[in-house]
């Protein structure tokens, strides 16, 4: 019953829109600040996270620190680019309500990466809010561009059409 309400109720869609735009604004401004500053470099953040993996009470798990040390740090320029533009694009998509679920999934992935790296900022709250958007599915983008894009894609994408047909036959 609660899932039905979250996923289909129009009043809930309005509440989710406010939540979605708020999260989008946070992501967008974060990414825009990094892009326009011209000097964003994630290597310091990555090195700090790796350093937090040691000691008696590490803030970063060893497996994550190993990933950061062997993959992220040697490719810090690529990760810096992905963070800047990822934040900006996730924010823009959430504000516009286009590909909302995908944008929310990418946002929560970044939030978890930041949390795994030992941050305690607003990431945990953003994860919690994003869960509601992901659970709501299409309803989170009902009052956004998804209202037109998703039906268009369902009608014009052969793979999606076949899946919809199979589901209709099974029902």
What pLDDT is attached to residue 166? 66
Least confident of 20-24, 28-32, 52-56, 67-71: 52-56
Q: How confident is the model at residue 157 (pLDDT cuts 50, 70, 90)?
A: confident
2-41 pLDDT, tens digit each? 999 999 999 999 999 999 999 999 999 999 999 999 889 9
> Under DSSP, is residue 125 helix (H, G, I), strand (E, B) or coil?
helix
Q: Mean pLDDT, to the nearest integer, of 75-100?
A: 97
pTM surpassing 0.85? yes
92 has pLDDT over 80: yes
Nearest to 114 by CA among 69, 83, 135, 90: 83
47 has pLDDT over 70: yes
Terminal CA-CA length for the chain: 20
Nearest to 111 by CA among 94, 100, 92, 127: 127
Q: How confident is the model at residue 69 (pLDDT cuts 50, 70, 90)?
A: very high
Handedness of CA 151, 152, 156, 159 (dihedral sign): negative
93 CB neighbour count, 10 Å cutoff = 26
What pLDDT is attached to residue 160? 58
């Amino acid at each position: 019953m609660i899932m039905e309400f979250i996923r289909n109720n129009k009043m809930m869609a309005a509440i989710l829109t406010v939540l979605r735009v708020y999260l989008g604004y946070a992501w967008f401004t974060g990414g825009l600040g990094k892009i326009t500053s011209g000097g964003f470099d994630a290597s310091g953040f990555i090195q700090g996270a790796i350093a937090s993996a040691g000691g008696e009470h590490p803030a970063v798990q060893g497996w994550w620190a190993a990933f950061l040390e062997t993959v992220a740090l040697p490719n810090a320029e690529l990760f810096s680019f992905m963070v800047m533009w990822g934040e900006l694009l996730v924010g823009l998509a959430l504000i516009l309500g286009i590909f909302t679920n995908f944008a929310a999934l990418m946002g929560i992935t970044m939030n978890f990466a930041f949390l795994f790296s030992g941050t305690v900022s607003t990431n945990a709250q953003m994860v919690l809010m994003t869960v509601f958007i992901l659970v709501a599915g299409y309803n989170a983008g009902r009052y956004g561009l998804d209202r037109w894009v998703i039906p268009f894609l369902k009608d014009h994408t052969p793979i999606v059409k076949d899946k919809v047909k199979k589901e209709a036959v099974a029902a």
